[in-house]
Amino acid sequence: MVPDESIDASEAAPELVPQRQGYSIGPHRIPAPRLDCALYVVATPIGHLADVTLRALETLSGAAMIACEDTRVTRVLLDRYQIRTPLMAYHDHNADAVRPKILAALADGKPVALVSDAGTPLVSDPGFKLVQAAVDAGHRVIPIPGASALLAALVGAGLPTDAFLFAGFLSSRQEARRQRIEALAPLAATTIFYESPHRIGETLADLAAIMGADRPAVVARELTKTFEEIVRGPLHVLAERYATAKPKGEIVIVVGPAPAQATSDADVDRLLAAALARSAPGKAAAEVARLTGRDRKELYERVLAMKPALAAGPTR
């Protein structure tokens, strides 16, 4: 999104409002509590504006200033709840210039709220350096938890949740993307990615080729919004579905953990037969090597030995 250059997103520090503020829910006006001086890291809705906590509204209305990625986006939420706290844009393009001004407000005893365009700040957004600088300067950092796209996708996926890894956005360059996927493929944990709708097909194809075509996965799109969509299936099926589709909106990919290593030659043979039905012998051996930890050369020789029997079909 193009950074907002409107007046409340200017490089100058906004005028900090000294009086107590408040917020509205329907016809009810609620005064904001007085906040201690701290940097408040506030989660905001990922789409549905009702997915905001009362504590988030109290914090946003009680802060002296809100640092946000794009004032136009944050203003929509504030207008919904009639919050008039001044905004200052803080994004990748101005962070070095604006960060000292936010730290100066904290040093002056002002409570400052940090939000992202949607969801929990610091998850694939520029807030990390600000939090780090506030900690280094001795200021309190207080998290105000709430909506998170990665957690919403995880709990709706139906995949294991006992261990999971958020891997953020993969590279737009295929070589770098594939190297990253190869490093993640063996993990016995559900892996979560954010992805652009323009690259979803390419990414799913790489995930299927490297992590295993039959690995269970989910594509979650436009979570909490009108056109929310959660599509489940093996990676190769999802890759085929999105090879030509042109989805819109925010996308989260959730991939199930790597399967346990095969414990017997019979298990390995079954995996090889399934992989050989989809791929050439070399690729089939490479896929099963990633899944089982077995030697690729050994598996390739086993594939070549299996081909005649597979070609002959089942015996009666």
The tens digit of pLDDT for each residue in 268-288 reads 888 888 888 888 899 888 888
pLDDT tens digit sequence for 3-32: 444 434 344 445 554 445 899 999 999 999
β-strand partners of 41: 114, 143
CATH 3.40.1010.10 for the 7-147 domain, yes or no: yes
What pLDDT does residue 293 have?
A: 73
Token duo for residue 46: 């990922």
Question: Is the Cβ–Cβ distance between 102 and 88 less than 8 Å?
Answer: yes
Place of tokens 């037969």: 273
Mean pLDDT (the chain) is 89
* pLDDT for 316: 39
Beta-sheet pairing, 190-195 with 112-114: unpaired
Q: Which CATH architecture has domain 150-255?
A: 2-Layer Sandwich (3.30)
Name the residue with higher pLDDT: 291 or 100: 100
C-alpha distances in Å from residue 55, one per residue of 59, 68, 155, 219: 6, 18, 23, 31
For the chain, percent of residues with pLDDT exceeding 90: 72
pLDDT at res. 20: 56
